[in-house]
Structure 1
């Protein structure tokens, strides 16, 4: 029986999600897409720091007070996040959530925050102060005022989980696209691989490469609109959790990895680490590739990527 492609676009986790499945008809496709939405909503309830009833909020409101028992799923996600922090020397850090929002990227900033303000803004940040107890499945934030948040990993994780669920239900092929965090499996109806267009932010109407992705994930981090200029330096909205200073020099990072969660976390980290350290770190990791575009529009890529220019 001929299979066809079905897609639904909706807002989940405060972001635009596009769920694409290949199915025999729209009834089957809609059932599958509903399952994916249910799964993403379930994860949002677990990891949302905006929802006062979530386990994540409970961890945050008990910072400096007591450890909180959490589901194994959340415990494991936090545990993996800490491993990524170690891997990136703290460029990725889920305890960034306690950072004071002293940088404004809405045009209202007229001068840079002072050095003291910047230093104070990250005082409560530090993944080393997240204590995990695997035996009791508890999470404890050592200092009062500490907070964790999954802004740089949550959508990727949700996309991975939705994909795993659909694969287990027998969906042969599809894409979960969580606002640019994409995870794919299978092939298009014509037998070709799914392809992702890489665009240069300085010329958004024109993709410079179309890359095939087979059963993997690709995430692009970068917001070319959100930045401020001070003293001839362009500061982007992605802030280094170690220093409190925004990342500079890069406007777009695309990471290819087996899972969207990892690609999501690494794409943010590369921004913060900068292109030399970032590329070097990526090249040490198996099955992970990366494309970086700097603010002058130059393209840098990890050594195993073959780009066929359009």
Structure 2
């Protein structure tokens, strides 16, 4: 449903006289670019932490990937309209939380959107709408209300044939959350998991200063909307300015409205601050679909969640507690 872009710049402050230092590793996982930052006593110690985080994210990928035929998610999709599939409680709970977000956003977020993935092409080759019959056929099997969970038996059943679930709009955020949790349990006092733009932080830098990020202006990347301190927070930025389609002079985002099967329009980027990357990930998608006015109305009702929205014309819309200092 969406992809991530590096709109967020991490600023590190000097700390050369301190015993602990910041270490960083870049890697590719879940089909995306990830980077892991940890506060550690040595490179050797940091390397051990990196391997722990990578193993955890690979475990998540093997559980939720709809591209791996051996995953439980693929088994659910293969048995759509046929029978329930027994899954780990972890996956059951992730699907349950996804359905809860679908209810809050009135279907703007829906993990059963996966059936429409192959219809729209945002690689620069397409300049016209897909056939209406294809869009309508896909939309008919997109409905979070047709996902049946049995908590006692730990099963998931997609009621309609050809239904599919996918975690493209929440999975990387969930992986970032899980990697953060396991590193905290291992004693890492501070760090950042950046899952291709789905960023989760904890602790502080070695000089006891908070992690800071700058949200860049998508219309002029030499400018930003100011520095923001992160206090054990997640932040996700999603944008359409590098991946979109123009039809009859109208710009459409690569993020699809699961209720209509049509690309969203009107917004260039959405940044969400939230306690967890999973939530921020899902809400960033939802705001694109709902639009800035309805989206902000929802955001302002959710505790500890804030948003910065850049519309197509460059104007800003922000939630109540966001203070933009510069552009």
- TM-score when scaled to structure 2? 0.92
Using the TM superposition, name which of 188-197 and 64-73 deviates more. 188-197
Among 304, 307, 319, the residue aligned to 1:302: 319
Among 211, 227, 232, the residue aligned to 2:244: 227
Aligned to 1:108: 125
Among 30, 39, 43, the residue aligned to 1:22: 39
Highest RCO, 1 vs 2 (Cα 8 Å, sep ≥ 6): 2
Distance in 2 of aligned mates of 1:107 and 1:216: 35
Would you say the 8 A contact 2:299–2:319 is kept in 1? yes
Q: Name the SS for the 1:53 alignment partner.
A: coil
Gaps spanning 5+ residues in structure 2: where?
1-17
Q: Name the SS for the 1:248 alignment partner.
A: coil
Aligned to 1:213: 230
Using the TM superposition, name which of 99-108 and 22-31 deviates more. 99-108
Deviations 1:166-197 (A, max 9, x none): 00111100000001000000111221110111
Among 236, 251, 264, the residue aligned to 1:247: 264
How many positions carry a matched residue from both structures?
A: 310
Cα shift at 1:137: 0.5
Distance in 1 of aligned mates of 2:94 and 2:64: 9
Aligned to 1:170: 187
Would you say the 8 A contact 1:100–1:122 is kept in 2? no
* RMSD of aligned residue pairs (Cα, Å): 1.2
Distance in 1 of aligned mates of 2:233 and 2:92: 24
Change (3 A) 1:71 1:158: same
Aligned to 1:6: 23
Aligned to 1:153: 170
Change (3 A) 1:197 1:68: same
Would you say the 8 A contact 1:5–1:20 is kept in 2? yes
Would you say the 8 A contact 1:211–1:307 is kept in 2? no
